[in-house]
Amino acid sequence: MKTDDVLMKLSDSFGPSGYEDEVLNLIEESIKDDVDEIIRDSLKNLIALKRGNGKKKIAIFTHVDEIAFLISSIDERGFARVEMIGGVDPKVIISQKVIIKSRDGKIRKGIFGMLAPHLQNNETRKKIPDYSSLFLDVSMNADWKDIKVGDLVGVDTKAVKLADLVCGKAMDNRACVLVNMLLAKELNKYSSHPDVYHVFNTQEEVGLIGATVSSQRIDPDLAIVMDVTFHDPETDVKIGGGPAISVGGPNVDKNYYKKLTKYASNNDFKFQYEVANGRSGSDADAVQLAGKGIPTLLLSIPIKYMHTPVEIVGVKDIENTAKLLAGFLYSLTEEGEN
């Protein structure tokens, strides 16, 4: 299956923080033939071990969860209110279709409604909506009264191809999930590599929870955390420019940073620099502190329109990052050292 097709399938999968099973099942089915062992820990993190020469443990961390909502109340007309799972700007969900995954096992539909322009007055036109003024209309379901407080809500959208780009929900962080999956396949081309733990973490969007547990369990010699970052021409981080390697920040290991950038430069891999002057807001913040401390690198795939239903990512950035990491891991072995 082509890279963009797999990415679209990952994007379309439903996996809010704490409810990532559908995405994890897809990952496990896709990666099982390229790794030696797969476990899921108590927080449902999926850890896939690809055994190498056994001299170093390298862990590649990518989170799989996405932002979403929970039903918090429903009135007698079939209008519901919601609470966020992760950070969602209310402006981006106005007039969006959603799916409701109820605890009774059924999937239902809903619409985030907004007062029509014709019915607004001068005051309502100026007001920026928040969750107290937005409503989720679920009354189109014949059995809407079976929807309960605590049921899950996700945006109902399908990923699409746009030339060499893909647009869809949850590219944060399914783009990096795919890099991690492709890396396991790329490593098959190399005669040697360290033991590599491909880690697919849960609950990043609600506090880096999965990574806190998985990093303690593995205690690697090096952690490479991957997440997304903003396509921003003003900082020279752009889609199509390769992964953005964090530079200068306190949680970036300076020794491994030099090795990675040297390898990328010497082998003509595209990459970009991203300054991280403190906490990154990614799983790297938790991983670095695990055990006695773990040397950590942070690589980010540029995307547009983060935390909206129309996140855009470049397919080549994903493929080339997997190839870069495979070569870099080989370079860390005695056979690959220059």
Same domain assignment for residues 181 and 278: yes
What is the per-residue pLDDT across 119-137, written as a single tens digit (0 to 9) for each? 788 877 777 788 888 899 9
Same domain assignment for residues 113 and 190: no
What percent of the chain stands above pLDDT 70?
Answer: 100
Q: Pseudo-torsion of CA 246, 90, 202, 138, nearest 10°?
A: -160
Looking at residue 248, its pLDDT comes to 77
Number of domains forming the structure of the chain: 2
What distance in Å separates the CA atoms of residue 62 and residue 175, rounded to the nearest whole number? Answer: 9
The rounded mean pLDDT for the chain is 94
Helix spans in 69-208 (H): 122-126, 171-186
pTM score: 0.95
CATH number of the domain residue 143 falls in: 2.40.30.40
Confidence of residue 338 (pLDDT cuts 50, 70, 90): low
What distance in Å separates the CA atoms of residue 301 and residue 230, rounded to the nearest whole number? Answer: 8
Model confidence at 336: pLDDT above 80: no
Looking at residue 334, its pLDDT comes to 77
Residue positions annotated with a catalytic role: 204
Residue 56: give the domain boundaries: 3-66+169-331
Same domain assignment for residues 194 and 217: yes
Within the chain, strands assigned E span 37-40, 46-50, 57-63, 68-74, 79-85, 97-101, 107-113, 135-137, 152-155, 160-162, 165-168, 195-201, 222-230, 244-247, 272-275, 296-304, 311-314
Looking at residue 134, its pLDDT comes to 87
What is the per-residue pLDDT across 279-304, written as a single tens digit (0 to 9) for each? 888 999 999 999 999 999 999 999 99
What is the per-residue pLDDT across 62-114, written as a single tens digit (0 to 9) for each? 999 999 999 999 999 999 999 999 999 998 999 999 999 999 999 999 999 87
Q: Of 127, 155, 183, which marks where a domain is finished?
A: 155
